[in-house]
Structure 1
Amino acid sequence: MKMQAERLTVIEPLPLPLHEKLFDDGEQLALALARQVAADLRAALARHGEASIALSGGNTPKRFFQLLSQQTLDWARVTVLPIDERWVPAEHPRSNERLLREHLFQNNAAVARFLPLYRPVDTPEMALMPVLTKIANEGLPLDVAVLGMGEDGHTASLFPDLGHDNPALREIGLQPRGRAPVMSVRTAAMPEPRMTLTLSAIFTAPALYLHIEGESKRAVLDAARSDPRSTLPIRAALAGASNAPTLYWSP
């Protein structure tokens, strides 16, 4: 009697949830994101009289910052935090504080309050406790957070080699419900040490956005979303969020 071979069904894992808003170019994206973030800030101001937003650095968000600065709302009651900061003085070309001051703190947004991560001391570790206390007491919870992503899959200053020498650091940075809102970071991928918000701080924002541009970054994001074995920080950010983030992407 011939035995019938069993047919195995392979179930592919579903990609992590992500709302998507796709645009033809970066200009359209920047305007749409600026209008949406402004609406979120107005809603937060109406709910509790003040608002807090954390923003990522890099070249990608410059146009978004400029358009956001033109939006009409009560900016004097808005607190702005960098999601992460390189440990360089505020006047340094690689400073995210400088980036925000040059591209966001102008027009209507010139009166917004800024809550820096950098302090004029030699290392981020030396400033960690004062910064942590300041952020916890005056910056959180967030109302809006706008993340970016590098081509290596890092987000904020949470890099793939996070915790290489100290595994506890990875747990602190990527823990979605952790107690540490900020942490110091040293990575082989970048020349200077950094300070960053952790995912637990970022996830206090009910409005969470991911702003990326370009086909290569989109490929990294899609691979991380689809592969449950991925250890990239961007996957942790998508997997740990209580509400699926909204992607703003253009080629």
Structure 2
Amino acid sequence: MIEAAVDFIRAPGLRRVSQLLADDVTRILRQAIGGRGRAFLAVPGGTTPREFLTLLGQRNLPWESIAVIPTDERDVPPDDPRSNEHMIRQCLPLTSGSLVPLRAVGASLEASATALSTQISAMGPLDVLVIGMGADAHIASLFPGDRRLDRAGRATSPVVLASRPADLEPRLSLGPAPLMAARWKALLISGQDKLAALNRAFVSNDPVTAPVRLLFEDGIPPRVYYTE
């Protein structure tokens, strides 16, 4: 069981687990800013993280010193309700230029991924990564079956990947390298189905079939925040 193998935080209800996560993220961001004068934060979209993002946005943080990036983004306009950027801007009191958007900037999604990879690489590793997981064990927009997630594929994968999952909008996603190299990681999940999926992924040790396994391979494993 993963609960015995990693730092596992279980709390009753989404609000309580989101409060605990916001407390820890606030502490780590302050430490990063105190040490280097800035911090780099990646956060997810979706319904489960909204409570956490809202609570984090209420914290007394020097947001002008924090660069924020979505873990992934659909190829939709930034004001579209499905846009992760749209939700992040609603929840966090971001200053001008503090959001690093994952938006199409070239002739194709792949060209955009290449350009964004150069930009984000120059910013250094993430200080804080908060990420969710789907019931199929996908993280960000890294889905099961993607050979870019095995060791050979990761060796040549850019920092940002173009993702074209079946029956879903094309999207851009942070790739394995920045997710795995984050200085501090948190995985936020809710529901027994996702906990079961996480346990299967932890045992399988195969990030191609269970992309969340990437977070437990190299570097510091994530702290898991869970509520039923």
Q: Give the alignment's TM-score, normalised by structure 1.
A: 0.82
From 44, 63, 85, the equivalent of 1:97 is 85
Identity %: 32
Alignment of 1:1-251 (within 5 A): 17-104=5-92, 106=93, 109-110=94-95, 113-119=98-104, 123-138=108-123, 140-163=124-147, 169-171=148-150, 175=154, 180-188=158-166, 190-228=167-205, 231-238=209-216, 240-251=217-228
CA distance in 1, matches of 2:62, 2:97: 9
* Letter of the 2:78 counterpart: A
| Superimposed CA distance per residue, residues 87-121 of structure 1 (whole angstroms, 9 cap, x where no aligned partner) | 111011211111111122x3xx5567100111355
- Secondary structure at 1:151 match in 2: coil
- Of the structure 1 ranges 26-35 and 228-237, higher mean CA displacement relative to structure 2 is found in 228-237
Q: Which has the higher helix share?
A: 2
Which of 1 and 2 has greater Rg?
A: 1
8 A Cα contact 1:29 1:249, kept in partner: yes
Which residue of structure 2 aligns with residue 166 of structure 1? none
8 A Cα contact 2:8 2:224, kept in partner: yes
Alpha-carbon distance change, 152 to 122 in structure 1, aligned in 2, over 3 angstroms: farther
CA distance in 2, matches of 1:170, 1:34: 29
Structure 2 residue ranges without an equivalent (≥5) = none
Alpha-carbon distance change, 86 to 122 in structure 1, aligned in 2, over 3 angstroms: farther
- Secondary structure at 1:117 match in 2: coil
CA distance in 1, matches of 2:169, 2:32: 35
CA distance in 1, matches of 2:145, 2:139: 12
- Secondary structure at 1:114 match in 2: coil
Alpha-carbon distance change, 178 to 204 in structure 1, aligned in 2, over 3 angstroms: farther
Alpha-carbon distance change, 119 to 229 in structure 1, aligned in 2, over 3 angstroms: closer
Aligned residues: 226
Superposition deviation, residue 171 in structure 1: 3.9
* Letter of the 2:72 counterpart: D
8 A Cα contact 1:181 1:201, kept in partner: yes
| Superimposed CA distance per residue, residues 166-211 of structure 1 (whole angstroms, 9 cap, x where no aligned partner) | xxx3348973x766211111111x4211111112112232110100
Superposition deviation, residue 229 in structure 1: 5.9
CA RMSD in angstroms comes to: 2.3
* Letter of the 1:20 counterpart: F
Q: Give the alignment's TM-score, normalised by structure 2.
A: 0.90
Alpha-carbon distance change, 245 to 187 in structure 1, aligned in 2, over 3 angstroms: same
8 A Cα contact 2:73 2:172, kept in partner: yes
CA distance in 2, matches of 1:236, 1:32: 24
Alpha-carbon distance change, 247 to 47 in structure 1, aligned in 2, over 3 angstroms: same
* Letter of the 2:33 counterpart: L
Superposition deviation, residue 232 in structure 1: 0.9
